[in-house]
Amino acid sequence: MLKAIIVDDEAPARSELRFLLAETGEVEVAAEATNVREAIEQLKDVGADIMFLDVNMPGVDGLQLAEALNELKYPPYIIFVTAYSEFAVKAFEVNATDYLVKPVETDRLMQAISKVKQLIAAQGRSTTNERIPVEKGGKKLLIPASKIHFIMAKDDYSYLHTENDRYLSTVSLAQLEAKLEPLGFFRVHRRYLVNLACVSEVDPVSGGTLLLTLAGEEEQIPVSRRRVSSLKKALGL
């Protein structure tokens, strides 16, 4: 499931878009923001595949934010959602993925989401050699993403678990999620990011949650209740 941030200074517009996204079953709204400053803070905190962005907002507008986000190594895909059709050309000049005019129609929204999924899939094929910087024994190492079974957040650090070892990373779990989700990783819990290719067993437990067993790992990984449904879809269950 894709993770999104909605950025719009009007609460009714955010609510309507959040409802439409929930209806698609394809996108989880991880955060909302009313201005550019809040949007940047939320992106740092939770990460996102998509940012649904209004154009006209107080202070810095959505077009300026989109242009600034292009400087990131892994920017979210930008889908503008606005009442003004005249900004479409400028939107694509700042590398917008799509441009939706309010009121948003469900079919048109699904087209935009499908476009993002296709781009992410293409990125995933081209970034299979992604490596994560870690520290071990005073040395800095680069661990291939394919070797990582799961990542656990603790305090301000992330711990990457491979088949035979554990490594410390100063990169936040939200940042690692943004980087690794296109490669088949899934945020199952606020503290855990899991490589779905390593999941060997899925055990239901009381309260409607799950425990995951990963190949070669003794520790079982908890799944938060709100992530159960989307995880089952991701695993084809």
pLDDT recorded at residue 127: 41
Residue 133 three-state SS: strand
- Give the lowest-confidence range in 42-56, 81-95, 109-123: 109-123
Q: At what angle do helices 11-24 and 106-126 cross, to 10 degrees?
A: 70
**Within the chain, which residue ranges are assigned CATH 2.40.50.1020?**
131-235
Domain 2-126 belongs in CATH node 2.60.40.1120: no
DSSP states of 115-171: HHHHHHHHHHHHTTT-EEEEEETTEEEEEEGGG--EEEEETTEEEEE-SS-EEEE-S
Q: Are 88 and 81 in contact (CB under 8 A)?
A: no
Bridging pattern class, strands 50-53 and 2-7: parallel
pLDDT higher than threshold 50 for residue 35 = yes
**Within the chain, which residue ranges are assigned CATH 3.40.50.2300?**
2-126
User: How many CA atoms lie within 13 Å of 226's alpha carbon, on the beta-carbon side?
Assistant: 6
pLDDT in tens, 36-53: 989 998 888 888 889 999
Neighbour count for residue 82 (Cβ, 10 Å):
23
CATH number assigned to the domain covering 131-235: 2.40.50.1020
Q: Are 66 and 82 in contact (CB under 8 A)?
A: no
Task: Report how far residue 45's alpha carbon sits from residue 75's, in angstroms, rounded to the nearest whole number.
Answer: 14
pLDDT recorded at residue 236: 81
pLDDT higher than threshold 90 for residue 2 = no
